[in-house]
Chains A and B, each alone.
Chain A
Amino acid sequence: MVESTLTRVLLRVGAGLTLAFIYIPLFLIALYAFNQNVTQAWPIENYSTKWFSVAWENQGVRDALWLSLQAALGATIVALVLGTLASMAVSRYRFFGREVISFAVILPIALPGIITGLALQATILDVLGPLGVSFGLTTIIVGHATFCVVVVYNNSVARLRRAAGSLDEASADLGADTWQTFRFVMFPQMRSALLAGGLLAFALSFDEVVVTIFTAGAQQTLPIWIFATLARPAQLPIVNVVALFVILVSIIPVYFAARLAGGAGLTADRPAKGSVAAAVEAEP
């Protein structure tokens, strides 16, 4: 370690403060899930678990949760396909407009969500409406997939950039056809990056509200349900219960994804330990 002891102590303190900053509000959300009162006042006077059963019995929130899961799954799949294809094209070939793709793919997430939302809504109403297309799960998925592509793409490109192209050529030299090269050489290298990207895409889609408001029509995903509940003070505590539930449930996939990525965290910048690619990279 190069850093002095003082530096390391300061870093630990800084890290601790930042972690506290991140988690205190989440801790408060968890506390309010047990708040007996309907209004969110501070300090909390009475605790109760009654809102958990109320939330469980609320049909609206269950339907919204289900719709959100479906939309996130669909969007993640589409984003994985599009992101993988684009990343493979960009990292293995040189062609006119290559840099434009990296730029174009980040725009849906960089430009304000309300612009994307208005644009999609205007298109559905004015252009696709006369063709019989209407709001629904499909339009939600299309909207989400568009800005989820970038997280898959970035992770995948970063991974492919580090993985030697020579491996693909070696595979071809050894007689593998295109599919076999993809299956046995490229894909295993990309797997951890795709997992990381897919997980992030799922999270982004699951939590998205702005674009969804404009593409969902009368349907309610979970964030839309939460937003609508803001107008109904009597049901507000259910929101905290649901939030806590989602956080707790997502600890499991996030943790396992981190482990499966082979101890390199979820930035997927390093190949999984023990893989061929790691061996190749380890060579001077």
Chain B
Amino acid sequence: MRRKRIAVWAALGLLVAALSVVAAGCGGGDDEAGASTDIEGLGTSLEEIQTMARDEGEVNLVQWAGYAQLTDEFEAATGCKVNTKDGGSSDDMISLIQTGEYDGVSASGNASVRLMTTGDVAPIDPDLVPNYADVQEGIKDQDYNSLDGQPYGVPHGRGPNYLMFRTDDVPEDTDSWGVIWEDDQLAKYKGKISIYDDSIFIADAAVWLKATQPDLGIDDPYQLNQEQFDAAVALLKKQAPNVGEYWPGTPASQIAAYTNGDSVVGTTWPYQYLQLTNADPAVPVKAIKPVEGTTGWSDTWMIYSQAAHPNCMYLWMDHMISPEAQAAVAEGFGEAPVNLKACDLTTNENHCSDFHADDEAWWDDVYYWTTPVEDCGDDDDSTTCVTQEDWKTAWTEIRG
């Protein structure tokens, strides 16, 4: 009997060992794709792409909620059915794209750089995307959407992270982030503060510290040395007990909270602001870019390097920077469009100026989401910055 027992344990141990070896040996799949625009199954000319897309019949996208617009028109024109999956955070989207089940993703800077580095997304051939020529030059070839001089996708639009508050609870002339950082304000709005639930929010604390504690020397809120980082984390830990909701990137719960009055002040995206003000009855909210500046995002549609439907994806990318789609996105989500031809098509003719599409100066103090890197991304070898991994760990601690 005892020998049998030993035999069984030995067998189990062998099984564990074998599986470990298998799991260790079998790679995660994606070797670093060479920086080639070639994707298996992609046509080589516009006509070919259009024909092959009809055979593909569908395109699967990972997106921020509300990004895909005019999908019915797209399907009618190209024969590609659009299936979308909403991601709550950039980390979420990276995980989803890495399952290999999707053709493309609307990546913010804190996802795009990582995806480009791992080779999960492929560079695009601008010749195969006719509308690319109309994209604002100031948005092309940036750190977050190009690598080694190659463009890695089509810009989607950009926007700020607003400070939003209910005007029946918070003074209408509020213009500073102090309302969610200063001690007396935290006490006043305790339990009704709404904060985005992602480690990237540490950068928002850094933006506040940049303005209020200049001796910390913060310049780029995403590249922080240990001292700056610790100060930001301490600030967030002080804020945490007063936060009513850490909203998860799928906007419905924040919209419900503001509607019911469970939240009265916090950070948000233009989408929620538009939903609340267009609701029936409208919710009395105001959304501003405070005087200290804010974080924001400039998003890019990128194609998965092993996309199953690359032709449909190329057509989708072209569609999303067409003036019609750009106008729809701008008004549906509250983006500033990147194709200024859309400005003539928006229902609200002042949309582009309201959302500062052409006003580069306005974007000077909007710090687009990006990924912290250990060498701080500067040319100075002596500086080291806190890594993305540590941002992530710190966020778990901040949430408590």
Q: Which residues of A are in contact with B by a Cβ distance under 8 Å? A: 39-41, 96-97, 121-122, 125-127, 129-130, 134-135, 217-218, 228, 230-233, 236
Are the CB atoms of B252 and A218 closer together than 8 Å?
no
Are the CB atoms of B252 and A125 closer together than 8 Å?
no
Q: How near does chain A come to B13, taking the closest CB pair, in angstroms?
A: 15
Are the CB atoms of A218 and B279 closer together than 8 Å?
no
Bound CA–CA A125/B85 (angstroms)? 19
User: Can you list 25 contacts pairing A with B, beta carbon distance less than 8 Å?
Assistant: A39-B256, A40-B256, A41-B260, A96-B5, A97-B8, A125-B98, A126-B26, A126-B28, A127-B22, A129-B26, A129-B100, A130-B26, A130-B27, A130-B29, A135-B99, A217-B101, A218-B60, A218-B83, A218-B85, A228-B85, A228-B86, A231-B86, A232-B65, A233-B251, A233-B275
* Chain A residues with CB below 8 A from B213, complex form: none
Are the CB atoms of A134 and B100 closer together than 8 Å?
yes
Q: How near does chain B come to A66, taking the closest CB pair, in angstroms?
A: 15
Are the CB atoms of B28 and A39 closer together than 8 Å?
no
Are the CB atoms of A125 and B99 closer together than 8 Å?
yes
Q: Who on chain B is nearest to A216 by CB?
A: B101
Bound CA–CA A39/B259 (angstroms)? 9
* Chain B residues with CB below 8 A from A228, complex form: 85-86
Bound CA–CA A231/B1 (angstroms)? 58
CB-CB nearest 4 A-B residue pairs: A231-B250, A218-B101, A217-B101, A231-B65
The CB with the most chain B CB atoms within 10 A, among A121, A217, A231, A232, is that of: A231
* Chain A residues with CB below 8 A from B253, complex form: 230
Bound CA–CA A236/B50 (angstroms)? 36
Q: Which of B1, B250, B256 contacts A96 (CB 8 A)?
A: B1
- Tell me how many residues of B have a C-beta within 8 Å of chain A: 30
Are the CB atoms of A39 and B250 closer together than 8 Å?
no
* Chain B residues with CB below 8 A from A232, complex form: 65, 252
Q: Who on chain B is nearest to A230 by CB?
A: B252
Q: Who on chain A is nearest to B8 by CB?
A: A97
Is residue B144 contacting chain A, with contact meaning CB distance below 8 A?
no
Q: How near does chain A come to B201, taking the closest CB pair, in angstroms?
A: 19
Are the CB atoms of A96 and B4 closer together than 8 Å?
yes
Q: How near does chain B come to A126, taking the closest CB pair, in angstroms?
A: 5
Q: How near does chain B come to A39, taking the closest CB pair, in angstroms?
A: 6
* Chain B residues with CB below 8 A from A126, complex form: 23, 26-29
- Beyond A228-B86, A233-B275, list 20 extra A-B contacts (CB 8 Å): A39-B256, A39-B259, A40-B256, A96-B5, A97-B8, A121-B99, A126-B23, A126-B27, A126-B28, A127-B23, A130-B26, A130-B27, A130-B29, A228-B85, A230-B252, A230-B253, A231-B252, A232-B65, A232-B252, A236-B252
Is residue B369 contacting chain A, with contact meaning CB distance below 8 A?
no
Bound CA–CA A176/B275 (angstroms)? 72
Q: How near does chain B come to A131, taking the closest CB pair, in angstroms?
A: 9
Q: Which residues of chain B from 1 to 54 have a CB within 8 Å of any chain A CB?
A: 1, 4-5, 8, 22-23, 26-29
Q: How near does chain B come to A274, taking the closest CB pair, in angstroms?
A: 44
Are the CB atoms of A218 and B8 closer together than 8 Å?
no
Q: Who on chain B is nearest to A214 by CB?
A: B99
Bound CA–CA A218/B102 (angstroms)? 7
